[in-house]
A and B are shown apart, each in its own frame.
Chain A
C-alpha cells in the first residue's frame, strides 16, 4: 500500500480548503453590505428631511433601507436564535430553563399580540419623547429592532425544531470521534440543518412582517410618520392614488429575488447535506 497521497487526494484537499475559505466570504460580504447600508443611512440622515416623506421617497433610498432593515433584523435575530436553538436541543448539555422556554414558545405562538404591543409602545413613546435624540425611536432603526424582537421567539422555536431533526446517530458518531459539542454543532448539525433553516427563516420573517405591517401602517396613517421602506412607499402611493407602481414592482422584484436565492441555497445545501 502506498503511503504517499496521490494527486487525487491532494487536489481534493486543495479544493476543500478553497471551498471553506470561499464560504467564509459569505458573511463577510453580508456584513460589508450591511455596513454600506448603514453608511448610506447616515448620509441620508444628514440631508434635510422632506416635509412629507411618504410622498418624497426616492426609490434607491427605499430599496437600500428595505434591504438594510431585513439584513439588520436577521443580523440581530439569527445568531441569537441559533444560540438558543443549540441550547434548546441539548447540544450544549445545559438547556434553557423551563420558564424561558415557556416564554419563547408563548412569544412564537402569539406574535400578533406582541407586535401590536411593541408597535404601539414604539409609536406612542416615539411621539411623546419629542425631539428625543434616542436612535431607537427613529423610525428607521426602530423597525428592524421591533421586527427582530418579534421574530426571535419564532426563529428560536423553529431552529430548535430543525436542529432536533438531526439523526441522534450523527451526534453519537461525532462524540465517538472525540468532537466537542460545539464542533459537532458547527460541522455536522448546522450543515445538515441549514437547508431547513432557510425555510424556517423565510416562514418566521413572513409571519412577523405580515403581523407587524398592519400595525405599522396604522401608526403611519395616524401620525403621517415616515418609515421609508418599500412597503411604506407602496402604502403612500396607494393613499395618494398614484398611478406609478414602482414601489409595488420593486417589492415584487425583491421578494422574488430573495425567494429565488433561498430556493437555490436550499437546493444546494440539501444536496450537500
Chain B
C-alpha cells in the first residue's frame, strides 16, 4: 500500500509555526479555554477547495478530525471505517486492507477482529472513541486533529493509542487537545498552552513543564500538587 507522507508545509495556516511532521503537538489548557474552538478554527482555516489531498485515493479533505464524543455511525464496525473510503470518487481496490490497517492503528483491531459485522453502537465508549479515530485514519489525512480522543480508555489502552499516534506523526501532523497535563507530558513532543481560543505559549515538552514562560501557564501547571 502506498503510504503518503505529509510535509511541514501541509500544516493548516493557524499551526504553521507550531506543528511539524515527526512531532506530536499537544494543545493544553483548562476546561473552557477554547481548545475545541481552536481546533474548529484550524479545521475551518484549512477547509478550502485547494486544500485537498490529491493522490491515488482521489481528492479528499487534508484534515482528519476526531472528537471526544465517541460517535458510532449507523451500521457495522466495518461499515463505519469503510464509509469514507466508499464515498471517494473511485473506491480503492485495497479497501479491505485499509480498513484493517486503520483499525490496527487505532488499537482496536484485537478487540473487534472477530465481530466486524456487529453494529458499531454496541461498542463501549472507549472503543467508539477509537473507532472514530480509525474512521479518520482510513482516509490517511495529512493533518490529524484530536480532541481528548482517548479520555474513555484505560491507561494501558491510552498508551497504546498514544504510541500509535507517535508512529503516525512520522508521516502526518498530529495535534492532540487535552486538559490533562499528565497526558500532555506523556504524549507531546511540543506542548502549546491555550487560553481564550489562542495559543499563549508553545515549546518543547520538557521546557514547557520545567520553564513555562507565560504566567497563566505557570499558574495552570503550578502549585505544590502540580505536575512539574
Contacts and interface: CB of A to CB of B under 8 A. Distances in A.
Interface of A: 1, 3-6, 8-10, 12-13, 15-16, 167, 169-170, 172-174, 176-180, 183, 187-188, 191-192, 271-273
B74 A9 contact: no
Contacts of B170: none
Interface of B: 1, 43, 60-61, 63-65, 67, 69, 71, 73-76, 78-79, 82-84, 87, 95-97, 99-101, 104, 113-114, 116-117, 119, 121, 132, 135-136, 139
A183 B87 contact: yes
Given A169-B71, A191-B75, A272-B75, A177 B139 contact: yes
20 contacts: A4-B97, A5-B100, A9-B100, A9-B113, A9-B116, A13-B78, A16-B78, A169-B67, A169-B69, A176-B43, A176-B63, A177-B139, A179-B83, A179-B87, A187-B74, A187-B87, A188-B73, A272-B119, A272-B121, A273-B119
B119 A271 contact: yes
Contact of A16 (B1, B74, B87, B117): B117
Nearest to B74: A191
B117 A5 contact: no
A71 B60 CA distance: 41
Contacts of B83: 174, 177, 179, 187-188
Contacts of B1: 3
Nearest to A272: B119
Given A169-B67, A176-B43, A187-B83, 13 more contacts: A5-B100, A8-B114, A12-B76, A13-B99, A15-B117, A16-B117, A172-B67, A173-B73, A177-B83, A178-B84, A191-B74, A192-B73, A272-B121
A172 B219 CA distance: 35
Given A4-B97, A169-B67, A178 B139 contact: yes
Contact of A6 (B95, B100, B135): B100
A3 B97 contact: yes
Nearest to A8: B113
B69 to A, nearest CB: 5
A160 B223 CA distance: 53
A9 B43 contact: no
A172 B96 CA distance: 25
B61 A178 contact: yes
A174 B76 CA distance: 16
A179 B95 CA distance: 17
A138 B104 CA distance: 63
B142 to A, nearest CB: 13
Contacts of A8: 113-114, 116
A45 to B, nearest CB: 44
Given A167-B71, A169-B69, A13 B95 contact: yes
Q: Which 10 A-B pairs have the closest CB atoms?
A: A12-B116, A191-B74, A177-B84, A5-B96, A12-B78, A9-B100, A178-B61, A176-B65, A192-B74, A5-B100
B74 A178 contact: no
Nearest to B52: A178
A38 B145 CA distance: 56
A1 B71 contact: no
A13 B96 contact: yes
A197 to B, nearest CB: 13
Nearest to A273: B74
A3 B3 CA distance: 11
A195 B16 CA distance: 46
B79 A176 contact: no
A168 B87 CA distance: 20
Contacts of B84: 177-179
Contacts of A10: 96
B15 to A, nearest CB: 17
Nearest to A12: B116
B81 to A, nearest CB: 10
Contacts of B135: 173, 177
